[in-house]
Structure formats: structure tokens, C-alpha cells
Structure 1
Amino acid sequence: MSSETEVEQIVDKLQDFCDNFVQNHGMEKIHEKTAMVKQEVDSTIAMLKTLEERCQKTTYMLQYARALNVLPDYTRECEDYLSKVVKRDPSIIQGWNLLGETFWKKGDIGAAKDCFQGGLKRKKDKVSLRSLSMVLRQLKADKFGDEQKNVISSVEMAKDAVGMDVEDGMSWYILGNAYLSLFFVTEQNPKVLAMALEAYSKAEKVEKRSTHNPDLHFNRAMAYRYEESYQLALEGLTTADQLDPTWGSPRTKINEIFNYLDKVNDLVEKKGKMKSKRLQNMIKSIKETNLGPYSGGSFTINGKQQKLEYIPLSSLNEGANPEKVIMGKVVCNMADITLVPFTFAIIDHNGDCYAVTVYNLARGKGMIIGDSVAIPEPFMTHHKIEWSLNADSAKKWDFRNIRVDNPIVLIVNGRKLTQEHCGSTIAAMIPSQAS
């Protein structure tokens, strides 16, 4: 066996130790992972040094840098070695990719982009493609619209990476992240969330070690959260927390969901905590004239007449309610907790109170207490969630919610909302590692 092959196999063994840690050591060792990986890196580097004099210089520097790159933090030594590798032999695509990852860890996103593009100039490579996808989503936009273009390009890069190897779990995972970002920077379309969830599922299906990636569980949980599948979101965040107990972000997000559900459930149950007299006056003020363009049993869409029956909240079916319209008064909103989705509660003429979540709503354009809101063809979900805190206690939430994906369908105080009420936001994905 040549020295070059030997050093490569030594680092391959280290990479496997890190990538398949849970499979090989079990969850019971997860708290020791950081220390054990560091110890393995030190041991590997010691072995490499014994082979340095017998090994071709460029190969040795590449494999030495690979070993250092297993650690999550930036090191100048790793950057120096990889810079020499690509200078000595620019055809080594792995050198460009590793140098890009090193710049990423350093926080130099522009240099990371240059490296991944440098690799792609020489050869189409799945690692370069998916890494460039990741970088494009982090670039600062110079002008309006650039951020959206970057994310769309990010999706295309990730799709190309998957196309090169459909059995690569990491490429599917990166594609899921790209779709999740696309959900936020374009219209917050549930179909895009579904594509993100499908990509995450594919990552786990094609490569078992993906199931032990805390970032995958975290980001998928964020997709579930905006899909309003709260139980699944909490399960995913809990798994991410278990897989990386030192991270912290999953526990923070769990608490945020707890606070959100607590407040929604409480305000719906207590009808905005309004005093009885004010609440009764608000209910009495609900008039069919507040339906605005939706009054009269029909409305026009794309030049066609559409039937629309005004019904009370209690008559809503779970899921879609075609050819129906509901209306109520806003008794509270939750702008202090979340802007996406903008959440408020309405009460109808029968005194029933439901939550409403509105996506794609521009900042500062939310509904306020006392507004009359009409919602055509509402999509209703009855959330009944139970979450065990420990063996003796559990949290329970039980409320009905109406989801609105396009705010311009709403009638507020008798008037239809306009395009100026629409907006989007940016995804807040907090990786425990590059993703």
C-alpha cells in the first residue's frame, strides 16, 4: 500500500467515526461526542505526521486538512494547508471544496463562494453544487430582489446536486433547506413547505446517517411549525436537542412554540380576555354589511361569479370550506409573539372564538382589536395537542384555527385588502453546523 493511500484511509476512518457516531456508539454516548471526536482527530493527526516524509506533499497536506476540517471550528492551519493544495494543483476539486468550507467557518462567505465556483469551473461536482447552494442563501443582497434571486439559484444548485447522485442524503438535506428558504423569500406557499418536507424525508430514506443529523431535525421542525403541524415540530426539535445537547437553539424554539400555543389557546378560550360588556357590544356590532364585496351570496373572481354563503364559525368543517364565508370581530392579536404568521382571534355573532393565522402579510399591516374581518373559503384546523413534560405533567392545547395564505382575500372593515398588505420575511435557520 502506498503512503498516499494509507493517509487517505486513515482520514476516511476518522470521517466515518464522526459521520456515523450515533450508529456506532449509540445515543447514550452523545454527550461525549465532542470530546471523543477531538481525541480521534488528535490521534489521526499524530498518525499522519509519522507518514509525512514518505508521502507526496500535496496529498499529505490535503489529507491533513481533511482531518482538521472534521472539527467544527475554523483553524488558520487548515486554511493555509488548503490554500497551498489548490495553488499546487488546481485540479483537486476536494481541495476547493474543503477550502470553501474553511472560509465558511471563518465567516468569509464571499471567499467560500469563490472556492466552490472555482471547483465547478474545473468539474461539475455534487459537493461544490450543494455547498454553493448553501452559500447563496447567506449572501447579503446588494439591491432589492437579489435575495430572492439568490435563493431561487440556491434551489437550482441543490437540485443539480441531487440529480448527480440521488442516493446522497446530504444533497437531499441541502435541497430541503433551499426549499425552506424559498418559502420565506417568495410567497409563503404551503406547497413549497411540502417540497422541503419531502426532501428531508428523502435524505433519511436514502442514507441512514441522515436520521442522526440534528440540523435536519431542526430545520424540518421549522417547516412543520409553519405548516402548523405543532406536534411534529416539537418532536423534531426534541430529537435535534437530544442529538446535539450543547446546541441550545432547539430548546429555545421548543419554548417559543410552547409560549405561542399557550397564548393562542388562552386568548381563544377567554375570548381575548375582554370584559363582558365590551365583548357583548362588539358581538352586537357585527353586521352583514361588513362582508363588503362578499355580501349578497356571491363574488366575482377572474371574471366569473362564485357562490359564497355566509355561515357562523361553528358551521365550519375541518379542512377546506368552499363557497363559504365567515366574519367576526378581532378580539386580540399576538404581534408581540410572532409576525409570521400574523396571529389574531375573531369572535362571531354567536360568540364563538377562533384563532386566525395570516401568511404573507406585510409588516405593520396586521389587524387590530375591533376590526371586522371576513374570510372567504376558510381552511380550518382543530388543534388538539398534548405534550408530556415529564412523567407527572403534560401541556395540553385545544383550539380551532383558520389559516390564510394570501391576505388580499381578506375583507377588513368592509374593504378588500390590496397588494400593499402583502409581504415576505427571511428564514431564520440556525445551523449547528454548515447547512
Structure 2
Amino acid sequence: MAEAEKDGDPTNDKDDLQILKQLVDELYHFRDHYFETHAVEDSGKKQNDVAQEMEKTINKLQEKSDLYMNKAEFLLLKGRCLGVAPDFSSTAEECLSRAVKLKPGLVEGWNTLGEQYWKKGDLTTAKTCFTGALQQSKNKVSLRSLSMVLRQLSGGVGDEQGKMVLESVDMARQAVQLDVTDGTSWYILGNAYISLFFTCGQNPQMSQQALSAYAQAEKVDRTASSNPDLHFNRAMLFQYEEMFGSALAGYSRAAALDPAWEEPLEKERQLLEYLEKLTALTENKGKLKARRLRNMLSNLSTSALGPCSSPQFRSPTGRIGSLDPCTLSALTHGHNAVVAAMGKVVFSLASEGRMAFTFGMVDSEETCCVVMVYNTADSWGVLIGDSVVVPEPQVKRHSVTHNSQTFNFRSIRVESPLLLIVNGKRQNIQAQTVASVSYKPHSE
């Protein structure tokens, strides 16, 4: 009888472990579906509520610890339970390491252990774990986890970085193909496309694919709408694409879903401050006195066109031929072919967290327009009084409303300072650098 108690009944073991697995699964469901049973106003309590549920589940597991402490399946459950917390757990790492040693084919063990190493900041070992899990069985968790680890590891430059990001996108795509109803896989694919967008030439198609992946995540999985990271990362892309209203709404939503996370509120504050300054300076033409403005504009002539007046000038679209100067008021929404906007710089804006070098330009009719120049080196800029020409300008009208604040203005988007003519001259290659956006992967 004592011997039977020591060894345990395999049938009972299986039943016990199944009950414990259900408890751990319920814990994850509580965390991931929190806002199905709680209001967004309760978001500040979420972390504490999850911690309390974790404690209850751990206590239930501890009751069976003496019976199953050397079973891989039990160690996996304990590691998973502790892994529900956002931070690294050395106890979870120890349990999961023992689990995969006892049972090397335990795919979930390798995946959960990889997550612990990722939280710990040991990306190389995390990658080894996820790769090991894939060798056992092709599964979406390993694929999407490898996708995010590869992006974190792709801190190099040039071809090597691009290669890792492309591999990251491929892993995320494979994860989605294995389960098209999995919102987390779609979300991680969206993040992968953002990395590809900024790493490989800012192809607008990549930006659209990122937005489509995020939208699909929300469509197939209602919990995705409660993911603050999704709203934050998408808001960063919206801001870069000058969809300022959507960006502000995204930062605000991310902050509401995770009040302890300060970055979304800070980004929202910075963007609002940027828009406030931008619209005020545009309305006041840089606050320049009328006399000074007239003196500046009296020096504005077609000589400022520089190479744009040459029949051999190659425009940003590849067209060969000279461009005609055009007043700002005559520009239409979208791309303005065969013309060049010309004016004097009346202000520049170096705001916190800016994604573009921003300046105001006034033309011969004293019309003021915002110019946003992307991919600029930190050392590049224009000075008040400089003559600036924008070949074939891309014009956008903005009407932004957020929390009872409204901003209305027109802007010209310039993808690189190399496309500008400043004081009659092209800009040298040192004026340009590749833009990057550090989206937040804190709970991928």
C-alpha cells in the first residue's frame, strides 16, 4: 500500500495534472480577457488582480507539489503560472529548465522558457529555446516568438539588419498561416512590417500591410483591442504618416489600458504640444514683424530655384525638365507636378520626439505653409531667412480634433532633405539619415 502511494496511480496523475492545467489556463484567460469582465477604468487594478489570481493558482499547485515535483508536466505548469507576470522570474526559469531536461520534446516548455529568457534580456538563449521548440514541432508560438526576437537582435546596420528583419517577417507570416484566427500572431506580423518599413526603404506598401495586420488582429480576436502595445505601435506609425488625429487617439487608448506605462501619455503630450506650436507659428508667420518679413521677401527671386530652372533637372518623380515657381495658395491637395513651391523660412520647430524637421515657409504673397522634412541628419536644418524650394510638392490638409482641441493647417511633406533646394543649392548626402521609430515591444 505504501509503495502504491509513493509511485502514484498514473490515471490519477493524469486527472490531477489536467485539473491543474485547467487552473493555469483559466489564469491566462483571466489576464488576456480582463476587459471582457472589467471596465477600462479598472485598468489600473489589472496587474494587481492578475497577481492575486496567480497567487491563488500557485497555492493550488503547491498543494500537489510533493506528489509531482519531479514531473515535467507539473514543472511546466508551475513555470507557466509564474510566467503570467510581466517580469522575469528566476523560479519560473528553474522550473521550465528542469521540465525540458526531463522531457526534451515538451514544445510548450521550450516556448515558455524562451519567454523567460526574453524577459530577462537574454535574447540569444531565448532564440535557442524557440528554435529548439520548432525542431520538435512547427507551431505558431515559436514562430511568432522568433519573429520578435530576430527584430530585437537586428541592431546592426545594412544588409545584415535587413536580412534579419525579412526573416522576422517570414516567421510572423508563417505563424499567421498556421492559425489565421490568432490575434497575437497578426499583431506581431504588424510589428514586423513596421520594422521592415523603416529598415528597407520606407515602402508605403509595408506601412499599409502593418496597418492591415493590426486591423486583422482586432477583427479576429476581440482581446487585441485591449492590447495597449498594439494601439501604441500603430499610433507611432500613424504619426509618421501624418495621421495625427489617429495617432493621438492611439496614444490615449494605450495610456487608458495601461495607466502604469508612462510613454503613451508622454507621446500624446509631445504631439499635442507640437501641433499647438506649429499652428500658432503658422498663423503668426513665425511671429516675425511685418517690416522684417517684407525685407526678407524682397530678396526672394527665381534665382532661388537653382537647378530646378535647368531643362536637365530631374524631379523627385524622375521627370526631366525645368519646374515653374508656384505660389502656396495655388498648390492643390496631393502631388503637384511640374511646379516648385518657393519661399522664405520664418520659423523652425525642434520639438521633443519629433519625427520630422519642421519649418514654416512664407511665399511672395505672404502665405505661410508648414514643411515637414523626414530622414534628416541631426546636424541638418534651415535658418530663418533661408530661401527654400520644394520641387513638385506633396500637399496635405490637416483637420485634427482631440479632447476638444482642434488644429487646422496645410503642410508639405518632403521625404528627404536631398529633395530640397536651399539658397539655390542642392543638399549634400550628409544631410540625410534613415529614420527609425522605436515602437514598444514590452508585451509582444
Structure 1 length as normaliser, TM-score?
0.92
Q: How far has the Cα of 1:348 moved from its partner?
A: 0.9
Residue in structure 2 matching 1:335, options 341, 347, 350? 350
Q: Secondary structure at the match of 1:137?
A: helix
Matched with 2:3 is: none
Aligned-residue offset at 1:219: 0.8
Contact persistence 1:151–1:178 (CA under 8 A): yes
**Deviation at residue 328 of structure 1 after TM alignment:** 1.3
For 1:202 and 1:67, the matched residues in 2 are separated by 29
Question: Aligned equivalents of 1:337 and 1:242: distance in 2?
Answer: 22
The answer as to 2:265 corresponding to 1:255 is no
Could you tell which deviates more after superposition, 159-168 or 205-214? 159-168
CA-atom RMSD in angstroms:
2.2
Find the residue that maps to 2:173 and give its secondary structure: helix
2:368 aligned with 1:353, yes or no? Answer: yes
* CA deviation map 1:32-82 (0-9, x unaligned): 212211111111111122334554710000011111111111111000011
CA–CA distance in structure 1, aligned partners of residues 424 and 41 of structure 2: 59
How big is the shift at 1:418? 4.5
2:39 equivalent among 19, 26, 30: 26
The alignment partner of 2:359 has SS state of: strand
Give the corresponding residue for 1:267.
281
Equivalent of 2:329 in 294, 305, 314: 314
TM-score, normalization: structure 2? 0.90
1:72 maps to a residue whose letter is P
CA gap 1:70/1:282 in 2 versus in 1, 3 angstroms: same
- What is residue 391 of structure 1 aligned with on the other side? none
Structure 2 residue matching 1:305: 3-state secondary structure: coil
For 1:152 and 1:78, the matched residues in 2 are separated by 32
How far apart, CA to CA, are the structure 2 residues paired with 1:306 and 1:93?
Answer: 62
Contact persistence 2:421–2:427 (CA under 8 A): yes
Partner of 1:2, secondary structure, is helix
Equivalent residue letter for 1:91:
G
| 8 A contact 2:309–2:322 mirrored in 1 | no
* Aligned-partner residue type, residue 344 of structure 2: K
How much does 1:213 deviate?
0.6
CA distance change for structure 1 residues 141 and 218 in 2, over 3 Å: closer, same or farther? closer
8 Å contact from structure 1 (residues 14, 41) kept in 2: yes
Whole-angstrom distance in 2 between the partners of 1:226 and 1:304 = 27
Distance (whole Å) between structure 1 residues aligned to residue 257 and residue 318 of structure 2: 54
* C-alpha spacing 1:22/1:336, structure 2 compared with 1 (3 Å): closer
Kindly indicate whether residue 406 of structure 2 is the aligned counterpart of residue 384 of structure 1: no
Q: Counterpart in 1 of 2:431? A: 421
| 2: CA distance, partners of 1:105 / 1:22 | 24
CA distance in 2, matches of 1:303, 1:72: 50
- Identity in percent: 42
Q: 2:413 aligns with which of 399, 403, 412?
A: 403
Q: CA 1:303–1:92 in structure 2 vs 1: closer, same or farther (change >3 Å)?
A: closer
Q: Is the CA contact (8 Å cut-off) linking 2:310 and 2:321 kept in structure 1? A: no
Q: CA deviation at 1:404?
A: 1.3
Secondary structure of residue in 1 paired with 2:320: strand
Asked if structure 2 preserves the Cα contact closer than 8 Å seen for 1:3 and 1:54, the reply is no
1 CA distance for matches of 2:318 and 2:35?
Answer: 59
1:15 and 2:28 aligned: yes
Q: Which moved more, 1:301-310 or 1:187-196?
A: 301-310
1:44 equivalent to 2:53? Answer no
SS at match of 2:138: coil
Say yes or no: does 1:135 pair with 2:144: no
String of CA shifts for 1:118-139, please: whole Å, max 9, x gaps: 2223332211111111112222
Q: 1:396: Cα distance to partner? A: 2.5
Size of the alignment, in residue pairs? Answer: 429
Unaligned runs of 5+ in 1: 389-393
Q: Shift of the alpha carbon at 1:306?
A: 4.7
Q: Which residue of 1 aligns with 2:5?
A: none
- 2:184 is the alignment partner of 1:174: no
Opposite residue 38 of structure 2, the aligned amino acid is: H
One-letter amino acid matched to 2:237? A
Of 205, 213, 216, the match for 1:191: 205
| Structure 2 residue aligned with 1:434 | 443
Separation in structure 2 between the aligned mates of residue 46 and residue 353 of structure 1, nearest angstrom: 67
**Which residue of structure 1 aligns with residue 124 of structure 2?**
110
SS for the counterpart of 1:364 is coil
Structure 1 residues 424 and 300, CA gap change in structure 2 (3 angstroms): closer
Structure-2 separation of matches of 1:373 and 1:240: 39
Q: String of CA shifts for 1:68-100, please: whole Å, max 9, x gaps.
A: 111111111000011111222222121111111
Cα separation, 2, equivalents of 1:162 and 1:54: 39
Do the aligned partners of 1:7 and 1:51 also contact (CA within 8 Å) in 2?
Answer: no
Question: Tell me, which stretches of 5 or more residues in structure 2 are unaligned?
Answer: 1-13
Determine if contact 2:274/2:351 at 8 Å carries over to the other structure: no
User: Contact 2:154/2:165 (CA < 8 Å) preserved in 1?
Assistant: no
> Could you tell me how far apart the structure 2 residues matched to 1:243 and 1:337 are?
24
